[in-house]
Structure 1
């Protein structure tokens, strides 16, 4: 985001694609300020009660404290560093677009609120601030303490529409370019992950005390058949379980080190009368990597992966707006971002490449929305000015629109930070 007045402009958002091969909570998209959880195709939400979704088997309080190991701290630091780098790239796009055109810039900040550290160089104040809700680039256009004349041609507000458009859109452009470079680096450094489908449905987790746990299903089992139906899909497993409350269901599973087993499971009855056995389900696949033989092939592979991630992010955002009433209560903030990033880092350091690329793409897409406090809101005001034949919108009107949006977004961000922190598993255990 850029700061066209004395107000602060936050920088949202990102999403993790459901198709990512790296271990993470499935079908969840996050953002720096908000996120949506589109309806999951895997069906695990149909088998878990709401309070158990996205939840692993929870350790005791001593175990939770002990789990805060050096490895966990390192993965959290890695995820936070990725988040900070994305914000830095976005704001650097605005900053460079202004500086290269000779436009006056007064501030460059990562975060909002109280200043933790600052220094001044070439008349620009660079600062790190307390709340990691984004960042801003400040311009002295309306700063009463600035000694720059208000009619200076190098103030942003006095520049032609095209110059201002380049400054406003440069943050989005920087994130898109950075996302491609991340994918290209991933292809060269570690290869491109590819999912090779395997038969059956994987059971990553089983809730303690559930029907599945009582009747012998274990984490890591692969469901090969249900009631005689072989090679079922996730949706088929879910449908058969839902239709069989308190009725014996024959489930054939493959277990490591053993031949296939035939288990008789009696689903519990949910409040809506459907069956539930208390397992998490996911596609069964083997992960392999494709490595390029030369730079040309690396460019092609990176381009295809980049377009695929872009399509996934846009589809996910579309689902947010099409199902907003269902997803509004599942909005998450920076704490959830770092939590999922830390899980990706613990599972596979390779996954941080895709994690970072998707954050960039989601940030770019969200910032183009014509909403106050986003780059798209500033672009919309600029287009209105162009439609008026270059006649500027009254400064007071523009500031009221942007300031109200900024205030709303910052308040929402603070609320989400508190809520997401309270929703962390180890915090729930302590409370």
Structure 2
């Protein structure tokens, strides 16, 4: 059984929704970004100054451009946060493979290998005729069975080989990894609600500027981190509410349409309002970032809905389970919907599919932000992995289930071994090629790598 993390739905982060959407979610949205891709930076956030006050204006009347350190996508400045993200990813892989392993073990089915990662072995040990290993490439993992191992001493007709078991037994083993991830996601959400609390969102008018890129148009013309943009070109920015025009998108749209033209911002800062004119730079490099399409305007800021977050713990166990169930089904619905949109609009979303490097980069930023984000990041990854592994593609769990379905339709007659091996081998090759491509692409998108090039 294989676990693959070389593909992650590009809109998975959008599963973090506003309250009272349908299905209802209890968790607040993390801010999209005016740079880079908002699909990655929904889970990219530090505590904002306004979250410590009743109203987000801060007591700071200094009025000068800022040269803030650049925290764009994939900044690996904190070794601890990267380690936390890698730990979350590894735990999810281990849980998935443990599902396969335990389903086989409890049925007395022979297992020969349990691996986290692919490629060269970094560390291994043997116990009860099973080789446990940690491998070099963090694209996933696998549980190996001795069914077609020429070096195995187990007779080919042994009833405890996976291939010789009834269809129901094999389906249970193959689907157990997905089931394990789904259960793990539920446990993570429950733990967040019980130990941290349920995030409750209160919205305010305007859009927050949590970060400003150094040497950008915004920095040059006087915008500061912590500013609240209250209006753009004399058009008031309302508070972000469900089922309405996104306040961040409203600001971004004006910026994109105004390259080399002044945009008038009404900015709240330190309890006072200022008028600031910012002239967006014109982008000509076609990098694909938000606001960076060829010829459009960009000012080099990260924007976020102007919200304040409070954590409310459930009154009792029943309420905790109620909150968890509602959030779990809401996240599941949105993960499935995101994957559907990926395939329906593949030409638009293919460039935003996550690989392992992007997952770790976003996870590291979340880990530096707050514990709520890390909980939900882990839950979304589990659900994404579960849904993707159910796809009927070779090398995925869904591909193996599809072959069993063909066998059942054929009255219990399996496809010729050569055909099955050819299908699975082609799938594995495709996944590895895709994985290497995404690793290279995502690595080149890291800010510190871009600075070196």
Q: Which runs of 5+ in 1 are unaligned?
A: 4-8, 29-35, 42-55
1:205-284 equivalent positions in 2, closer than 5 A: 205-232=211-238, 233-255=247-269, 257-269=270-282, 274-284=296-306
In the other structure, the counterpart of 1:166 is: 172
Question: Does the 8 Å CA contact 1:188/1:298 hold for their aligned counterparts?
Answer: yes
**2:317 equivalent to 1:295:** yes
Question: Does the 8 Å CA contact 2:85/2:363 hold for their aligned counterparts?
Answer: yes
Q: Summarize the Cα distance change of 1:227–1:415 in structure 2 as closer, same or farther, 3 Å threshold.
A: closer
In the other structure, the counterpart of 1:53 is: none
In the other structure, the counterpart of 2:413 is: 391
In the other structure, the counterpart of 1:121 is: 127
- Tell which deviates more after alignment, 278-287 or 360-369: 278-287
TM-score normalised by the chain length of structure 1? 0.84
In the other structure, the counterpart of 1:52 is: none
In the other structure, the counterpart of 1:192 is: 198
In the other structure, the counterpart of 1:47 is: none
RMSD after superposition: 2.7
User: How many residues are aligned here?
Assistant: 394
Q: Summarize the Cα distance change of 1:139–1:296 in structure 2 as closer, same or farther, 3 Å threshold.
A: same
**2:335 equivalent to 1:313:** yes
- After superposition, what is the alpha-carbon deviation per residue over 1:44-71, rounded to whole angstroms, capped at 9, x for unaligned? xxxxxxxxxxxx8449xxxx9xx84xxx
SS in 2 for 1:318: helix
Write the distance in 2 (CA, Å) between the matches of 1:285 and 1:186. Answer: 20
Q: Summarize the Cα distance change of 1:171–1:118 in structure 2 as closer, same or farther, 3 Å threshold.
A: same
SS in 1 for 2:425: helix
Give 1:249 shift.
Answer: 3.4
Q: Summarize the Cα distance change of 1:358–1:243 in structure 2 as closer, same or farther, 3 Å threshold.
A: closer
Q: Which runs of 5+ in 2 are unaligned?
A: 18-26, 43-67, 239-246, 285-293
1:327-342 equivalent positions in 2, closer than 5 A: 327-342=349-364
**2:401 equivalent to 1:401:** no
SS in 2 for 1:313: helix
**Correspondent of 2:435 among 407, 413, 417:** 413
SS in 1 for 2:135: strand
Write the distance in 2 (CA, Å) between the matches of 1:208 and 1:155. Answer: 61
SS in 2 for 1:149: coil
SS in 2 for 1:110: strand
In the other structure, the counterpart of 2:21 is: none
SS in 1 for 2:229: strand
- After superposition, what is the alpha-carbon deviation per residue over 1:86-123, rounded to whole angstroms, capped at 9, x for unaligned? 00000011111111111111111111111122222111
Q: Summarize the Cα distance change of 1:244–1:13 in structure 2 as closer, same or farther, 3 Å threshold.
A: closer
Write the distance in 2 (CA, Å) between the matches of 1:221 and 1:316. Answer: 32
- After superposition, what is the alpha-carbon deviation per residue over 1:264-316, rounded to whole angstroms, capped at 9, x for unaligned? 33444556655443433221110111201111111011111111221222222
**2:345 equivalent to 1:323:** yes
Write the distance in 2 (CA, Å) between the matches of 1:253 and 1:27. Answer: 17
Q: Summarize the Cα distance change of 1:384–1:276 in structure 2 as closer, same or farther, 3 Å threshold.
A: same
- After superposition, what is the alpha-carbon deviation per residue over 1:188-234, rounded to whole angstroms, capped at 9, x for unaligned? 11112222111111223333444333332222211111222223433
Q: Summarize the Cα distance change of 1:399–1:366 in structure 2 as closer, same or farther, 3 Å threshold.
A: same
Question: Does the 8 Å CA contact 2:34/2:252 hold for their aligned counterparts?
Answer: no
Write the distance in 1 (CA, Å) between the matches of 2:235 and 2:168. Answer: 62
TM-score normalised by the chain length of structure 2? 0.80
**2:142 equivalent to 1:136:** yes
Q: Summarize the Cα distance change of 1:27–1:315 in structure 2 as closer, same or farther, 3 Å threshold.
A: farther
Give 1:243 shift.
Answer: 4.3
Q: Summarize the Cα distance change of 1:39–1:130 in structure 2 as closer, same or farther, 3 Å threshold.
A: closer
Q: Summarize the Cα distance change of 1:263–1:401 in structure 2 as closer, same or farther, 3 Å threshold.
A: same
Q: Summarize the Cα distance change of 1:349–1:22 in structure 2 as closer, same or farther, 3 Å threshold.
A: farther
SS in 2 for 1:186: helix
In the other structure, the counterpart of 1:112 is: 118
In the other structure, the counterpart of 1:32 is: none
